[in-house]
Amino acid sequence: MQINKVKGTYDVLPTESYRWHALEEKIHSILKLYNIKEMRTPIMEYSEVFHRQSELSDMVTKETYDFDDRGERRLTLRPEGTAGVIRSYVENKLYASQELEKVYYIGPNFRYERPQKGRYRQFYQFGVEAIGTVDPALDAEMIMLAYDFIKRLGLKGVSVKINSLGDDESRRAYQEALTKHFEPHHDTLCDDCKARLIKNPLRILDCKIDQKHEAVMHAPTPQDYLNEFSRAYFNQVLAHLNASQIKYQISPKLVRGLDYYSHTVFEIEADIEGFGAQNVLGGGGRYQKLVSELGGPELGGIGFACGMERLLLALDAENIELAKADQLDAYVIVMGEELRITGSKILFDLRQSNLIADMNYTKKAFKGQLKQALRLDAKYLIILGEEEFKKGVVGIKNTKTEIQEEVPLRNITMYIKENGEK
């Protein structure tokens, strides 16, 4: 019986894994410029890390993979990266060693949602978190980083959508306004939004069912309820973006999909052929209470995340190659079972000199080995037959020029290195 992959998951095959490596290398190199170090956290956490009383987003209330382990402890596969990073930040008391901790992560997340192109139940994200202080300049740096990263991938028309949810006072005023706005429409809202109207009306704006509802379309915006401090904070963020000529647009109804955001929220877009309105490649925002909710001090942070699958789809759509698949430097063809030990030694010596090399392990005849070597697009064929072995040489053939020369066994590596650089 054939068993297929789980719905909403996918396989990264050997013919495409190099694209993932190239994207990951790009992440590592760019984040190094911003003096941001990598953090790796478990893919599962105790459920309380995500299922907090203050978090009522669909992602947490409907889409998490929750289970009991053998010790009857409730665990959750991480649906997003930030909460696990904050848990680690608090548990390891990183706030005690420096005022600002800047980290990034790359890894899989899990959400039980309807699979579609670029959206899976197991999906990869890279994200950045800057934890420990509240500063408009830091908010701007995270936005600049996200903007810079997408531009460095080679994508065009990169821009920022930005909004402010304000501080606690501003947010409470806005939530009260939303409640008053939506109450007359209670009966026409979906069942989930009826519950949200009581618990957190802000989530109605993020509803997939009611997004075209007239009341949602004409709802008040957070900008209308910012107090003096929040408006000044937001203006400072914009001033930093202006100074660096970051292209942005204030998006008054942008709220993002998680409840822990406050003050700055943003998304990064690019002009991508065939993506239509779904050209958002990443987003994030500031959070003020997440650290304390997970047992740490009253410290704020800001972060963002990008879906790796969507980034790769965007690069495909724009025909951008970050790297090409590694080409085989040499393929060793051995004619005769008794010469396989010598062939194996040649192969090991090549690899010791950092040359990409391979040989056949299914005992094919010469034609079969040649066919495999050409299919692998080897630059050189190293041919070892009985006559060559007696003379202490091999035949080395350049597959592009088809020039073949006899080379002493001891000089194989030197020959390929010298000629390969020409």
Q: Give me the mean pLDDT over the 309-313 stretch.
A: 94
Residues in a beta bridge with 103: 37, 129
Are 227 and 170 in contact by the 8 Å Cβ rule? The answer is yes
CB neighbour list of residue 400: distance below 8 Å, 6 or more residues apart: 379
Q: Please tell me the distance from the alpha carbon of residue 395 to that of residue 415, in angstroms, as a whole number.
A: 11
CA distances from 392 to 3, 129, 380, 387, 395 (A): 51, 60, 19, 9, 11
* Domains and their CATH numbers in the chain: 17-167+227-317 (3.30.930.10), 330-420 (3.40.50.800)
What share of the chain in percent tops pLDDT 70? 97
Nearest to 162 by CA among 146, 179, 182: 146
Q: Give me the mean pLDDT over the 248-256 stretch.
A: 86
Terminus-to-terminus CA distance in the chain, angstroms?
52
pTM: 0.89
Quote the mean pLDDT of the chain: 91
- Residues 106-136: pLDDT tens digits? 999 999 988 887 789 999 999 999 999 999 9
DSSP per residue over 99-136, as a string? S-EEEEEEEEEE-----BTTB-SEEEEEEEEEES---H
User: Is 54 a residue whose pLDDT tops 80?
Assistant: no
Q: Could you give the angle at the alpha carbon of 143 between the alpha carbons of 131 and 24, nearest 5°?
A: 80
Are 331 and 378 in contact by the 8 Å Cβ rule? The answer is yes
Q: Please tell me the distance from the alpha carbon of residue 47 to that of residue 72, in angstroms, as a whole number.
A: 12
DSSP 8-class letter at 347: H
- Residues 367-396: pLDDT tens digits? 999 999 999 999 999 999 999 999 999 999
Amino acid at site 247: K
Position 233 scores a pLDDT of: 96
Nearest to 235 by CA among 102, 319, 136: 136
C-alpha dihedral sign at 140, 145, 146, 148: positive
Report which of residues 129 and 198 the model is more confident about: 129
For residue 248, what are its two tokens? Answer: 């942005």
Position 339 scores a pLDDT of: 93
CA contacts within 13 A on the Cβ side of 16: 8
CA contacts within 13 A on the Cβ side of 233: 22
- Residues 331-345: pLDDT tens digits? 999 998 889 999 999
- Residues 313-332: pLDDT tens digits? 999 999 999 988 889 999 99
Going by their DSSP bridges, the two strands 330-334 and 380-384 should be labelled as parallel
Nearest to 330 by CA among 363, 358, 365: 358
Q: Which helix (H) or strand (E) holds 311?
A: helix 308-317
Position 265 scores a pLDDT of: 94
Position 58 scores a pLDDT of: 64
User: Is 278 a residue whose pLDDT tops 90?
Assistant: no
Radius of gyration of the chain (CA): 28
The tokens 């050189």 sit on which residue? 380
